[in-house]
Amino acid sequence: MDSKTRKIRMGMVGGGQGAFIGEVHRMAAALDGQIELVCGAFSRNPDNCVETGRALCLDPNRCYTSYQQMFAMEAELPAEQRMDFVAVVTPNNSHYGIAKLALEHGFHVLSDKPATFNLQEALDLEKLIDKHQRLYALTHTYTGYPMVKQAKAMIANGELGKVRKVVVEYPQGWLAAEPDRDNKQAAWRLDPAQSGISCCMGDIGVHAANLAEYICGDHIDEICADLNSIVAGRELDDDGVVLLKFSEGAKGVLMASQISVGEENALNIRIYGEHAGLKWSQQEPNSLWQVFNDKPAQLYRTGVGQLYPQAQAATRTPAGHPEGYLEAFANIYRNFAAQLHACNQQQPCDNHSFDVPGIEEAIRGMAFIENAVAASSSEQKWHPLSLTPAVSKS
C-alpha cells in the first residue's frame, strides 16, 4: 500500500485499564482515521495488559508483557505490519528508558509530558533522536486548540504590537486534600521516585509555560519562583508562582496550583501588547477575546469568519459545535501522522513545519521545571532559565 494513504500504525506503552491518559491518547489518535493501534504493552500487570488488549480488540499475539519484548518482536515483523511509532503514556520516571529503546529499535516516539524524569535525560534524548534519525513528538495538548493558533498568528502578524505583559494561570483543586490511597493518578504524581522533583510545576505549570512561549513566539529567559507544599506531609510542590522575563522584553507571571478548591482545569492566558490584548480560557476554548483601550472588545469564535489559516486548519466542525480537549489532542496526533507520512516519503519533516511539539519543547519544559525548583530554594531573586541541568541526574 502507498505509504501516503495507508494508516500510520501505533503501539502504546502504558495506558492499561484504570489509566486516564492512555484512553485519551487512544481516542485522540483514532479521531481522524489516520492512525490505528496495532499493539501494546499496556501494564506491568500481565492480566491487565491482556484484558486491555482484549477490550481494544487487538491481536492477542501483539499484546506484550513488557515494552522490551514489544520493541524486539515488532522490529522482527515485516515492514508492512510492524508499528511505526510508540505512544509513551507511563509515569515520568520511565519515559526516557522507553523512548531510548524505541529509538534504538528504529521506531518513532510520541510521548506524554513532561518528556523525561530530568533535564539531563531530555538532553540525552535529543542526541539519540539525532543519531537514529527518528521523529519525536510531545503532547503539549493545549497548543492544539484553534483559538490558541489564532492568538499565535495574531501576535506574529503584529496585531497587538510589541508584547509587554503575559499572565498565565493553571489552577486545579483535585489535590486540595490528601487523596484516597487507591487514587493512582495522585499517587505517582506526589511520589518523587516516579514524578521527579516537582508535582505541580512538572504536571501543569510546564503546560502553562509552554502555552505562553507558543502563543507569544518567544522564550522565557529569566525566572523568579516561589513553590510550596501546602498540604502537610508532601515532599513535592502542590502550588506555586513564577515571575517571567521573556527574551523580547515582555514581563509575565505564571501561577499553577493543585490545591485551589473548586477549580477544574482552569488554564487561562492573557497577553497584553502596545495596542491590544488577548484573552483565552481552556474551559471556554472556542472563544478568543481581543481587547482595546479605545474601542469595544472583539470576540473571535472558532469556525466564524476569516480566521488565520492555522486556526482554520485546526477547526473540525461548523461554528457553534463545541470543540474541546479531545479535538485539541487529536490535532497533535493528526499533525504527527502527516509528519510521519512525509518522513516515509523522504520529504522534509521537521517538527516546526508540521506544528508538532518536539524535542526542543521537551528540553525547555524540563529546564523550566528544574530551574523553577532551584530558584524557589534560592535567596537570589532572578535566575537565568538555563538549559544546563540544575539538578544532578538520578
Question: Domain 146-317 carries which CATH code?
Answer: 3.30.360.10
Alpha helices in 285-351 (DSSP H): 309-313, 325-344
Confidence category of residue 1, pLDDT binned at 50, 70, 90: very low
Residues of each domain in the chain carrying CATH 3.40.50.720: 8-141+331-357
pLDDT at 91: 92
What whole-number distance in Å separates Cα of residue 120 and Cα of residue 389?
6
pLDDT per residue as tens digits for the range 229-272: 999 999 999 999 999 999 999 999 999 999 999 999 999 999 99
> pLDDT over 70 for what percent of the chain?
98
> By the 8 A CB rule, do 384 and 393 touch?
no
Q: Could you name the CATH architecture of 8-141+331-357?
A: 3-Layer(aba) Sandwich (3.40)
The three cell numbers of residue 257 are: 496550583
pLDDT at 394: 37
Q: What is the mean pLDDT of the chain?
A: 95
Q: Residue 392: is its pLDDT beyond 90?
A: no
Q: What is the mean pLDDT of residues 355-379?
A: 98
Confidence category of residue 5, pLDDT binned at 50, 70, 90: confident
Q: Residue 393: is its pLDDT beyond 60?
A: no
Q: What is the mean pLDDT of residues 314-339?
A: 95
pLDDT at 348: 95
pLDDT per residue as tens digits for the range 199-239: 999 999 999 999 999 999 999 999 999 999 999 999 999 99
Q: How many CB atoms lie within 10 A of CB 183?
A: 14
pLDDT at 179: 87
Q: Quick one: angle between helices 206-216 and 359-376, nearest 10?
A: 120
> By the 8 A CB rule, do 282 and 327 touch?
no
Q: Residue 385: is its pLDDT beyond 70?
A: yes
Q: What is the mean pLDDT of residues 293-309?
A: 97
Q: Residue 3: is its pLDDT beyond 60?
A: no
pLDDT per residue as tens digits for the range 11-57: 999 999 888 899 999 999 999 999 999 999 999 998 999 999 999 99
Residues of each domain in the chain carrying CATH 3.30.360.10: 146-317
For 209-242, b where at least 16 C-beta lie within 10 A, e where not — what string? bbbbbbbbebebebbbbebebbbeebebbbbbbb
> pLDDT over 90 for what percent of the chain?
93
**Which residues 6+ apart lie within 8 Å of 285 measured at CB?**
145, 146, 147, 148, 302, 323, 324, 328
Q: Residue 62: is its pLDDT beyond 80?
A: yes
Q: What is the mean pLDDT of residues 93-112?
A: 98
Q: Which amino acid is at 302?
A: T
pLDDT at 322: 87
Q: Residue 181: is its pLDDT beyond 80?
A: no
